Structure 1
Amino acid sequence: MHPVRKVFDANDAFPFSLAYKNTKSSQSELPDHFHDWYEIVYVYRGKGTFFIDHTFYEMKQGDLFLIPGNTIHRATPDKETPVTSTAIYFSPSIVQTPNLGDSFSYLHCFEQATAHHNYKFETLLSQRQNLDSGLESIQYEFKHPNLGHRQAILLQLLQLLLFLNRDLGSGTKPSTGDSIAPPMWMREILLYIDQHFCEDIGLKTLSKQASVTPAHFSRVFKQLIGMNITAYIMTKRIIRAKQLLSENDLNISSIAEMCGFESLPHFHAMFKRVLGMTPAAARKSAR
């Protein structure tokens, strides 16, 4: 089973979505999933765990999560005190700005999260008040669509991203992750996979690397990650291939080989299964 690819309407003139102050049970949450859009999750109350990229995080009041596009993630609410949170989803296309003579990007905070492999921040009380107000204003515009309400939402989103870019680097406490303390070998193997997923690795190699039996490895991996090791590695390869297709003009067969696929037909089949389109179509849509 591959993680779910959450699909937003790419043809929508306003590629933005908001899930305001939702309280979800473990049954209503999506399984492991990813999407092209960027995501901001802010926690008001409750507890849970968040698996993002290759790290487990605790979810609690005041936590803020930044999830770049095409990042595997899954939230699991606590059964007794489930998380109540707001999630913002947006296409990076709506926050592109003209060159104003500096190198500022509204997506810089997401780029930093990716670079440091740290997607969680613990906010201060003053920052929470700012976040509460900004998210409430966006929700108001959704509920009361007056003249220019989309422009108002976009302005508030840009203001929120500006705040995150400025404040996440000054006072906000980054998380060290792994708060729910999975087995040490699991934390180490997830990091190892992240560094070697385009190589010839599989259950036998990874269980040996972790010094556990293949059966134990499979059971614990599926329990914690929500999918088997083969699907996890395959999905990471496809996401990497999609990135390479959009970044350069290498031919598709070269990209398939770089991402660990032994044959082009297999690459095409897996790419379409995971992303719902061919590699050529993915490249065309990114241009």
Structure 2
Amino acid sequence: MKPIRKVFDNELPLSLLLDYKETKSQQRELPDHQHHWYEIVYVYRGKGTFFIDQTFYEMRQGDVIVVPGNTVHRGFPDKEEPVTSSAVFFSPDLVHNHAFSEVYTYLKLFDTAKKNKQYKYNLSPEHAKILQNDIDAIHGEWEQKYPDGGQAMTLQLHLMLLHLNRYCLPQSAGLDAPNALVPDWFREALAYINDHLNGPLELSALAKRAAVSPAHFSRVFKQRLGMNATDYISTKRIFAVKDGLLQSKDKIEHIAMTCGFESMPHFYRTFKKYTGMTPAAYRKGSRPH
């Protein structure tokens, strides 16, 4: 399924938007999408999964996820303990036009995340409190609506980015070595899988296409994504099925087949394994009433 492009309201008084302490639900989450603005997600409590740039991350309290502009992503809140988070969206113009931008790279964490394919970081309680205060300050300025509130929010955004660089970049230090960079064949394999979910995706064929051994293919997958290639493909297919169940009235079997499941018993077992319910129950329970 092709990602949608989210466009921010041109009528906003400032190129910055804050979704403050929202508890997420499956009905309100967008499918795979991207936008020109940058995004910072901070998790207060709850559980979920975040998909970004072909990678899955578990979301827990104290996690920060940074989303560079034009990067495909989506959130999957847990059904029983949904994530409560704040999301800060901002135009890069707010950073590039700042007077100090030539001597300090506020977007360094985003650039590093994109290079190393590492988008999630976990803050210590002390650092998490500082980031929460940054978010609260932006929210407070938005609520007060002072004449100079836009300037205050912009300055607070820069302070937040400085804090994130300070607390999160050390977690990326071990990934800066050349041998830790994502190989081109791996990126191409992820893109190929994403574009061919409805067809056969055998490990041996994927490894041959990447010109590496199946063992090496599997090892790199596990190292980079925390799951093997088979589980990754199954997860992507189940997410595609979930979108199909909510966005169409097609029969369940038809949706499963178009998402690459050739055996219906295998599909039903896999769907129950990943969601804890049947496809029919998911469709009935997740659609808005």
TM-score, scaled to structure 1: 0.64
1:221 equivalent to 2:236? Answer yes
The answer (yes or no) to whether the contact 2:39–2:89 under 8 Å persists in 1 is yes
Report the more deviating stretch, 161-170 or 113-122: 161-170
Identity %: 41
Task: Indicate the SS of the match to 2:150.
Answer: helix
The answer (yes or no) to whether the contact 1:123–1:173 under 8 Å persists in 2 is no
The answer (yes or no) to whether the contact 1:118–1:174 under 8 Å persists in 2 is no
- Give the drift of 1:222: 2.7
- Over residues 129-181 of structure 1, what are the superposed CA-to-partner deviations in whole Å (9 max), with x where a residue is unaligned? 101111111111111101201111000001101111122124x58999xxxxx
Residue of structure 2 in register with 1:209 after alignment: 206
Q: Aligned partners of 1:110, 1:3: CA distance in 2, in Å? A: 21
- Give the drift of 1:13: 5.4
The answer (yes or no) to whether the contact 1:9–1:15 under 8 Å persists in 2 is no
Task: Indicate the SS of the match to 2:169.
Answer: coil
Aligned pair count reads 211
- Give the drift of 1:192: 4.0
Residue of structure 2 in register with 1:245 after alignment: none
Task: Indicate the SS of the match to 1:17.
Answer: strand
- Give the drift of 1:104: 2.5
Residue of structure 1 in register with 2:15 after alignment: 15
Task: Indicate the SS of the match to 1:95.
Answer: helix
Residue of structure 1 in register with 2:163 after alignment: 163
Match of 2:189 among 184, 188, 193: 193
- Give the drift of 1:218: 7.8
Give the alignment of 1:147-158 within 5 angstroms.
147-158=147-158
- Give the drift of 1:101: 9.5
Q: Aligned partners of 1:218, 1:41: CA distance in 2, in Å? A: 26
- Over residues 62-104 of structure 1, what are the superposed CA-to-partner deviations in whole Å (9 max), with x where a residue is unaligned? 0000000111111000011100000000110111146769653
The answer (yes or no) to whether the contact 1:51–1:225 under 8 Å persists in 2 is no
What is the one-letter code of the residue matched to 1:193?
A
Residue of structure 2 in register with 1:37 after alignment: 37
Query: How has the CA–CA distance of structure 1 residues 57 and 133 changed in structure 2, closer, same or farther, with 3 Å as cutoff?
Result: same
Task: Indicate the SS of the match to 1:169.
Answer: helix
Q: Structure 2 unaligned runs (5+)?
A: 176-184, 208-213, 215-230, 245-289
1:64 equivalent to 2:75? Answer no
The answer (yes or no) to whether the contact 1:118–1:175 under 8 Å persists in 2 is no
Query: How has the CA–CA distance of structure 1 residues 144 and 11 changed in structure 2, closer, same or farther, with 3 Å as cutoff?
Result: closer
Residue of structure 2 in register with 1:122 after alignment: 122
The answer (yes or no) to whether the contact 2:15–2:90 under 8 Å persists in 1 is yes
Q: Aligned partners of 1:45, 1:174: CA distance in 2, in Å? A: 27
Q: Aligned partners of 1:101, 1:128: CA distance in 2, in Å? A: 25
- Over residues 14-41 of structure 1, what are the superposed CA-to-partner deviations in whole Å (9 max), with x where a residue is unaligned? 2111100000111111111111100000
- Give the drift of 1:4: 2.1
Q: Aligned partners of 2:43, 2:86: CA distance in 1, in Å? A: 7
What is the one-letter code of the residue matched to 1:7?
V
What is the one-letter code of the residue matched to 1:14?
L
Q: Aligned partners of 1:101, 1:50: CA distance in 2, in Å? A: 30
1:48 equivalent to 2:45? Answer no
Task: Indicate the SS of the match to 1:132.
Answer: helix
What is the one-letter code of the residue matched to 2:48?
G
What is the one-letter code of the residue matched to 2:69?
G
Residue of structure 1 in register with 2:283 after alignment: none
Query: How has the CA–CA distance of structure 1 residues 72 and 150 changed in structure 2, closer, same or farther, with 3 Å as cutoff?
Result: same
Query: How has the CA–CA distance of structure 1 residues 10 and 220 changed in structure 2, closer, same or farther, with 3 Å as cutoff?
Result: same
Q: Aligned partners of 1:217, 1:107: CA distance in 2, in Å? A: 30
The answer (yes or no) to whether the contact 1:120–1:174 under 8 Å persists in 2 is no
Q: Structure 1 unaligned runs (5+)?
A: 177-188, 229-287
Query: How has the CA–CA distance of structure 1 residues 79 and 145 changed in structure 2, closer, same or farther, with 3 Å as cutoff?
Result: same
- Over residues 45-69 of structure 1, what are the superposed CA-to-partner deviations in whole Å (9 max), with x where a residue is unaligned? 0000000101100001000000001
Give the alignment of 1:258-277 within 5 angstroms.
none
Give the alignment of 1:97-116 within 5 angstroms.
97=97, 104-116=104-116
Residue of structure 2 in register with 1:5 after alignment: 5
Residue of structure 1 in register with 2:95 after alignment: 95
